[in-house]
Amino acid sequence: MADSQLGGGQQVLYLPEGSSRLLGRDAQRTNIAVARAVAHAIKTTLGPKGMDKMLVSEMGDITITNDGATILEEMNAEHPVAKIMVDIAKTQDKEVGDGTTSVVIMAGELLNGAGDLIEQGIHPTTIIKGYKIAADKASDILQEKSHDVKVEDDATLQKIAMVSMGSKNVGDDATKAHLCKLVIKAIKQVMGKDASGKVIIDHEFIKLEKKPGKSIADTDFIQGVLIDKEIAHPGMPKSMKDARIALLDVALEIEKTETEAKIEITSPEQMQAFLQQEENMLKNMVEKIKKSRATVVITQKGIDDVAQHYLAKAGIIAVRRVKKSDMEKLSRATGGKIITSLDDLNEGDLGAAGLVEERKISGEQMVFVEKCKDPKSVTIFIKGGTQQVIDEAERSIRDVIGAVSSAIETGWYVLGGGAIEIDVATGLRAYANEIGGREQLAIQKFADAVEVIPKTLAESAGMDAIDVLVQLRNKHRTKDGSVYGVNIFKNELGNMNSLGVYEPLKVKKQAISSASEAAEIILRIDDMISSRGRAPAGGPPGMGGMGGHGHEME
């Protein structure tokens, strides 16, 4: 593509044959429409009475979920703006682990409001400026309305966890409470502090293992690590109490030479000597392990049949080809060091576990390394009737891990049920009156967009959304009205404080920040160019699918 200059300073843009282009208002209208369509697709999943979506892949695999990030990730999003919406859900999920549906719905509403203002003749740059001001002010209001929570406050953490779990279809309230308790226990077990004394929680060290069988209520907490492997040799013990564990990144087998080597054997005696030499080398490896007084060997690499025989003869349990990530978890759980040379192995490097045992779960052998003393890596073993059930339970537990971790790391929470959103919207409308110029119109639209959360909660409960919004706004103008939100179980307004509907401050801040940034990026685009020859089909008419790239042109 090239442009040339005509006489009189007129510029002409040459496009390749078969290209199509959206300019100015058309580009903005299309982008806003796509963003709203994505938001609308997951809007009905919000809240405890939200609906599920069934996603069917081309291979026929079925996923049933109401997790925003999962739905968006599995959707076949072709349009570049749809991909931006998917990305903000991924960012929300990665940063705080919860609030993925809220952030996408809010971004869709921000763009909807911006579309109204653009139609009224307000320039996108003015709207973007207003949205930036509103996002900063919203963050201040959130902080002002937040309450502190301590690590020791299990009751408050349980309420935060239950709100995160509330919208998930994973059994009754007793089952959800059980899962939430397991998550809080796991987080407290693995959390640590950095050099400045700030609490840090690495989610990688809370292993989620799942197998169909029994029910979700039978989900277990394992004080250690569960390995989806079996014991290497049938002659080895199947259980070992007070185990001393050697963690190896060493192959207990004769490795092939890296360069080509040729061995000439001219007699049976030489062959026998060669084989005996190999066996002696393997026996020597096992002797080094025995010398360290290890009773369990777990290695990332392979174990030769001969080595297995000698280990079994010595009464040592061996597990081979364990994933690197599981080896790191085992190291943190047992306190053992991962050894890369058997010559370096000594008793001080061994890890410890109260019990190492092989058990048959749903027809498959698994090795439990449990009853570890103060492990810094633990496992939640998820069970359930079908694969779809345990998959959704896993997603739910990940959301709860994110929510509770966010509350512990920042130490603040806000009232849920739409209460905090009404507070933010009320504060923004008052603030808009103090701001001169057209930016105040954008701030008011931002306030409207934030209110989409209580509005959607009311809609999913079958309530009249407009009536609910009016009642909530009136309540929040009174002295003690800030505690009121949508009690969807009784289809009325309720005191969120007494109901214990708490959400982490970090989740709300991240949602408003990400939604605002996504809206700003999309509003800046005023030119989209796509070649019909290269773009996949299925996009808006005249855009050749817009599956390629959207370009911002100046």
Structure confidence by residue, pLDDT tens digits, 195-252: 888 888 888 899 999 988 888 889 999 999 999 999 999 999 999 999 999 999 988 8
Distances (CA, A) of 454 to 279, 441, 450, 507: 71, 22, 9, 16
CA distance 330 to 299: 11
Residue pair 148/411 in contact (Cβ under 8 Å)? The answer is yes
Q: Can you give the CATH number for the domain in which 397 is found? A: 3.30.260.10
pLDDT reported for residue 227: 93
* 505-523 helix and 387-410 helix, angle to the nearest 10 degrees: 100
User: Longest C-alpha distance within the chain, in Å?
Assistant: 100
pLDDT tier at 22 (50, 70, 90 boundaries)?
low
Q: Where are the alpha helices (DSSP H) in 295-366?
A: 305-313, 324-334
Whether 243 and 194 share a structural domain = no
Sign of CA pseudo-dihedral 179, 181, 184, 185? negative
Residue 536 placed within a domain: no
Residue 548 placed within a domain: no
pLDDT at residue 19 above 70? no
67 carries an active-site annotation: yes
Domain boundary among 390, 410, 430: 410
Residue 432 placed within a domain: yes
Q: Can you give the CATH number for the domain in which 110 is found? A: 1.10.560.10
pLDDT at residue 147 above 90? yes
Query: b/e string for 60-90 if b means 16 or more Cβ within 10 A?
Result: eeebebbbbbbbbbbbebbbbbbebbbebbe
**66 CB-side CA count, 13 A:** 19
Whether 45 and 126 share a structural domain = yes
Say what the alpha-carbon torsion angle 480, 485, 487, 491 is, to the nearest 10 degrees: 100
pLDDT at residue 80 above 60? yes
Distances (CA, A) of 103 to 278, 365, 449: 62, 42, 11
Whether 229 and 352 share a structural domain = yes
265 vs 518, higher pLDDT: 518
DSSP string of 388-443, one letter each residue: HHHHHHHHHHHHHHHHHHHHHHH-EEEETTTHHHHHHHHHHHHHHTTS-STHHHHH
Whether 236 and 324 share a structural domain = yes
Average pLDDT rounded to a whole number, residues 274-296? 85
Whether 361 and 380 share a structural domain = no
Phi-psi region of 291 (alpha: psi -120 to 50; beta: other; left: phi over 0): alpha
pLDDT at residue 359 above 50? yes
Residue pair 175/406 in contact (Cβ under 8 Å)? The answer is no
Whether 431 and 389 share a structural domain = no
pLDDT reported for residue 25: 75
Cβ neighbours around 444 below 10 Å, total: 21
Q: How far is CA 166 from the centre of its chain?
A: 17
Residue 511 placed within a domain: yes
Structure confidence by residue, pLDDT tens digits, 323-334: 999 999 999 999
pLDDT reported for residue 395: 87
Residue 539 placed within a domain: no
CA distance 473 to 341: 68
Residue 544 placed within a domain: no
pLDDT at residue 94 above 60? yes
Closest CA to 396 of 164, 233, 125, 231: 164
pLDDT reported for residue 472: 93
Please give the share of the chain, as a percent, with pLDDT higher than 90.
50
Instruction: List the domain range (segments joined by +) for residue 161.
Output: 150-223+375-410
Structure confidence by residue, pLDDT tens digits, 430-489: 999 888 788 999 999 999 999 999 999 999 888 999 999 999 999 998 888 899 999 988
Phi-psi region of 542 (alpha: psi -120 to 50; beta: other; left: phi over 0): left
265 vs 138, higher pLDDT: 138
Which DSSP state fits 6? -
Closest CA to 228 of 128, 146, 326: 326
- The answer to which of 150-164, 276-290, 308-322 has the lowest mean pLDDT is 276-290
Whether 442 and 395 share a structural domain = no
* Residue of 45, 65, 67, 426 marked active site: 67
pLDDT tier at 387 (50, 70, 90 boundaries)?
confident
pLDDT at residue 342 above 50? yes
Amino acid at 61: D
* Residue of 70, 91, 100, 410 marked active site: 100
* Residue of 45, 101, 410, 426 marked active site: 101
pLDDT reported for residue 392: 86
Q: What 3 state SS string does 15-69 have? A: CCCCEEEEEHHHHHHHHHHHHHHHHHHHHCCCCCCCCCEEEECCCCCEEEECCHH
Whether 267 and 395 share a structural domain = no
Structure confidence by residue, pLDDT tens digits, 149-208: 998 999 999 999 998 887 777 878 898 999 999 999 999 999 988 888 888 888 889 999
pLDDT reported for residue 1: 43
CA distance 437 to 192: 49
pLDDT reported for residue 20: 59
357 vs 65, higher pLDDT: 357
Average pLDDT rounded to a whole number, residues 328-351? 92
User: Residue 524 is encoded by which pair of tokens?
Assistant: 């800046």
Closest CA to 115 of 129, 102, 127, 103: 127
Locate the DSSP E strands across 44-163: 53-56, 62-65, 147-148
Domain boundary among 410, 431, 463: 410
Locate the DSSP E strands across 107-238: 147-148, 192-193, 199-200, 206-212, 220-222, 225-227
Amino acid at 552: E
pLDDT reported for residue 538: 46
327 vs 87, higher pLDDT: 327
* Residue of 349, 399, 423, 448 marked active site: 399
User: Residue 377 is encoded by which pair of tokens?
Assistant: 């890596």
pLDDT reported for residue 5: 45
Whether 189 and 258 share a structural domain = no
156 vs 11, higher pLDDT: 156
Whether 349 and 275 share a structural domain = yes
Considering the entire predicted model, what is its pTM? Answer: 0.80
Whether 397 and 467 share a structural domain = no
Mean pLDDT, all residues of the chain: 85
Closest CA to 245 of 381, 359, 342, 354: 354
| Chain position carrying tokens 């007084």 | 293
100 carries an active-site annotation: yes
Closest CA to 85 of 456, 505, 504, 517: 517
Give the end-to-end CA distance of the chain in Å, rounded to a whole number.
Answer: 15
Residue 451 placed within a domain: yes
User: Residue 59 is encoded by which pair of tokens?
Assistant: 């291979």
Whether 118 and 239 share a structural domain = no
Q: Kind of pairing, strands 11-14 and 2-5?
A: antiparallel
Residue 260 placed within a domain: yes
Q: How many domains does the chain have?
A: 3
pLDDT tier at 256 (50, 70, 90 boundaries)?
low
pLDDT tier at 270 (50, 70, 90 boundaries)?
low
Structure confidence by residue, pLDDT tens digits, 103-117: 999 999 999 999 999
pLDDT reported for residue 546: 44
